[in-house]
Structure 1
Amino acid sequence: MGTAGDAYDNAMCESFFGTLEAELLSREHFATHEQARRRIFSFLEGWYNVRRLHSSIGYCSPLEFENLNAKTKIASPSELPTAGQRHGREKRPAARPWTTRDSTLNGG
């Protein structure tokens, strides 16, 4: 197991599935797989993502949170927060070799 905040911490996922089970799956019975799929989709897109208050985003609905952030956000020219930053090969100094292999070794 990992520590909080790393890839092995699935607390938010567990919280979501707990909510899904408590608020939808334990209250309804589905006759077919397709009926369950459609009902889960409508639960997510019609209530959970639009109107339900989430504690991790200041007790706002995700839609409200996105609207608030869209108003206060100053977008970069390419709409990405890392626009203009150098990445990959451009970031490395010119004298640094591109591979870790020693070119003097044979067959390596």
Structure 2
Amino acid sequence: MAKNTVYMWTESLPLVCSSPATPQSGDPVLFGQLPGVALTNEDSNGVTTCALDGTFDLSVKGEGAGGNAAITAGAKVYYEAGQTPPLNVDATNGVYFGIAMAAVSSGATATIPVRVGY
């Protein structure tokens, strides 16, 4: 089970995630436009059990559509496939993921609590 849980989730489902390709427990994930956090590693059938809400410590980069950008506590965070880490504030190229519960400096990568979901 994911060990980066800050506040427990209430909704979880077994899903075939669209991103990343092979989710590992604790990874931020997408099922189409639905954000979540992998609670388990992907199994041999391609299924990952995912939390669809809750707050998790996740790696977030201070980056937006125009390059480096500071992230303030309370800002919307987006999942941008192909980026490492995939979470930033790029609303142009990303899928809405949740809310940053702490700040990240412009250009920096930090592990912060992120409130998952809508």
TM-score (norm 2): 0.17
Q: Whose strand fraction is larger, Structure 1's or Structure 2's?
A: 2
TM-score, normalised by the number of residues in structure 1 = 0.18
**Greater fraction of residues in helix:** 1
